Amino acid sequence: MELSRRTFLKSTLVGGVGVSVLGFDLTPVYAQTQTLKISRASETRSTCPYCSVSCGVIIYTLGDKAKNAIPQVVHVEGDPDHPINRGTLCPKGSSLEQDILNDRRLLKPQVRRPGATDWEDISWEQAYSEIAQRVKKTREDSFLEKDAQGKTVNRCEGIAFTGGCTDTNEFNYLVVKTMRSLGVCYLENQARV
């Protein structure tokens, strides 16, 4: 925490004392307050990722979006224009700054091999390639073109996809497209539970 939060105009104060006994002084005493930390920050309008009220939030980032400035979140506040939340936020929404800046975030792809007792790093390239091969193998092993009655079913029984609560509509659509085309039926989402 910064201790010298404000500059106090000490000289004015001390200078004023000598004449104050005369009753008044025409030079009022002021205290300077800290400047607003978001006064020149960039604003991005977003939506809170938590509950289904979908409050509008403004994410304040350092820098004016100039090319050389790497944006860093300095503050998140409710969007006063948003008709539902009108600038308000709950304790989860109010802590979003710490969700974005969080030092617990996952930063690298990792793999846990069979029998391993820890993670190891893996490149994106390697991870994609291994996952694709596994998806194909499992699909091949569990794909059913016809059921016992000879009816066309074209489904993959060995793969499940589970989607999360904050996945966007567009992401979910991409999931439906790709997973249904692989024949996936075990397609579920936080929406169920």
Site for other proteins in 89-128 (CB under 8 A): 89-100, 102, 104-117, 119, 122, 124, 127-128
With contacts defined by CB under 8 A, how many residues of the chain interact with other proteins?
A: 154
Is residue 153 close enough to count as binding other proteins by CB under 8 A? yes
Q: Which of 11, 66, 67, 83 binds other proteins (CB under 8 A)?
A: 83
Is residue 163 close enough to count as binding other proteins by CB under 8 A? yes
CA atoms within 13 A on the CB side of 43: 12
* Cα–chain center distance at 124: 21
User: 142, 158 in Cβ contact below 8 A?
Assistant: yes
| CA separation for the pair 6, 1 (Å, rounded) | 13
Subset of residues 28 to 57 that bind other proteins, contact rule: CB under 8 A: 28-37, 39, 44-56
Closer Cβ to other proteins, 67 or 115, answer by number: 115
Q: Which of 6, 40, 64, 69 binds other proteins (CB under 8 A)?
A: 6
Structure tokens that stand for 85 in this block? 């939340």
User: 101, 59 in Cβ contact below 8 A?
Assistant: no
